[in-house]
Amino acid sequence: MKVTIAHNNYDQTLKTVARLKELLDKKGVVYDAKYPDVVITVGGDGTLINAFHRYENQVDSVRFIGVHTGHLGFYTDWRNYDIDKMVDALFMTKGEPAKYPLLEIKMLTESGETQYHLAVNESAVKRVSHTLEADVYINDELFENFRGDGLCVSTPTGSTAYSKSLGGAVIHPRLKALQMTEIASINNRVFRTLSAPIVIAPDQWITIIPNADHFVMTVDGARIDVRNAKKIEYRISRHSIQFDRFGHHHFWSRVEDAFIGENKEND
């Protein structure tokens, strides 16, 4: 088993990483940052997402384990004080990993160039200082003519992130569905959109054709300045992100802990 550790540089994280290395060394683990079998992230969800993008070209052969040293995350299963149990579990059994859908983004430019991206959470299309105008297609059929601040397409796991703040539904990750939410759409006598989130089936896809030569596209929060894009196509990827199932928390328990738990304790 080849392992690598990705982490942020906060004090608590560095202490946890030092302890983790001690435990792994006792197990005789082989460290390989180039072609790992397991990527252990120490920090938070952002640390894990950054690690995913570092190894996204190897996503089919890598599984992730998240240790969080701050607030409870959706991708980080283990607390910093549980790493002894985590290391024991790592070597106890391989088992079947928990797999979550990924978002595939295909962008075609006016020059005929095709660019591909993968996202764990979401991708958004926006204009910074102007209104975004775009035609939205589902399965190559025109769905709506959008005008507003932007559009966000998310995975089920990403439904608890930016999409939720836009009024999107929370979707269980075993459902291989995409969700599109609008960002401050304009609805009046001239411009009309559905003005509600939509969820599409795994064999369907969403195409956005922007009526602008310059806009911003984000992929898991990373900004990409785009010029002269002809269209952007979103669909469920044939790839998935894999987590070590041992110790992997129940999805709805994560949702309850993140959004409801504190209020329930006060009741």
Other CB atoms within 10 A of residue 144 CB:
18
Per-residue DSSP letter, 121: S
Bridge-based pairing of strands 63-68 and 78-79 is parallel
H or E segment and range at residue 23: helix 11-26
In angstroms, the CA 4 to CA 35 distance is 9
Q: Which residue has the tokens 């959008």?
A: 146
Q: Does the annotation list 159 as a binding residue?
A: no
In angstroms, the CA 86 to CA 79 distance is 9
Establish whether 45 is a catalytic residue: yes
Q: Where are the beta strands (DSSP E) in 155-202?
A: 178-185, 198-200
Q: Does the annotation list 122 as a binding residue?
A: yes
The token pair that represents 45 in the structure block: 């969800």
In angstroms, the CA 41 to CA 17 distance is 9
Q: Does the annotation list 253 as a binding residue?
A: no
Q: Does the annotation list 46 as a binding residue?
A: yes
Q: Does the annotation list 161 as a binding residue?
A: yes
Bridge-based pairing of strands 141-154 and 132-138 is antiparallel
Q: Of 181, 109, 104, 178, whose CA–CA distance to 146 is shortest?
A: 181
Q: Does the annotation list 155 as a binding residue?
A: no
The stretches of 27-102 forming alpha helices (DSSP H) are 45-54, 83-92
Q: Does the annotation list 176 as a binding residue?
A: no
User: Considering 11, 45, 60, 244, which one is annotated as catalytic?
Assistant: 45
Q: Does the annotation list 45 as a binding residue?
A: yes
In angstroms, the CA 98 to CA 129 distance is 41
Other CB atoms within 10 A of residue 173 CB:
20
Q: Does the annotation list 113 as a binding residue?
A: no
Residues placed in the known binding site:
45-46, 121-122, 147, 149, 160-165, 184
The catalytic residues are: 45
> Residue positions in the annotated binding site for NAD(+)?
45-46, 121-122, 147, 149, 160-165, 184
